[in-house]
Amino acid sequence: MQNFKRLLVIVIALVLAASVVFFTLENRTPIQLVFFGWLTPELPIALFVMSAFVLGLILGPLISWWPHQRLRMRYSKQAKQLKACEQRIKVLQTSEESETEAQAPALPTAGAPSKVS
């Protein structure tokens, strides 16, 4: 199964690499783009398209990283608060149990005779 997964990854990588090479070879026509009035030098179409693709691959994860980090920090903070509350509940329960034991009258044991006047 492990070898099949490796073979599948290799095949997908080769198909992807071949498609990039074919795309680049088929789109060698030089063009000049205008971006906010700024003219780019004449470069092949494939270069502009691949540059936009790579830029998207880099910026996409970076843009989604920040909200994920904020959620992680919030989760960590809430987990600490929950742990502190659970510890406080334990302390209150043990103190309540000790108070009820101190206030309860001692019950006579079953084998001992009790004196009643």
pLDDT tens digit string along 23-41?
Answer: 989 999 999 999 899 999 9
Amino acid at 54: V
The 10s digit of each residue's pLDDT in 63-114 is 999 899 999 999 999 999 999 999 999 999 998 888 887 776 655 555 555 5
CA 12 to chain centre: 26
Global confidence as pTM = 0.54
pLDDT at 81: 97
Residues 39 and 32: beta-carbon distance below 8 Å:
yes
**What are the Cα distances from residue 46, in Å, to 49, 81, 116?**
5, 53, 105
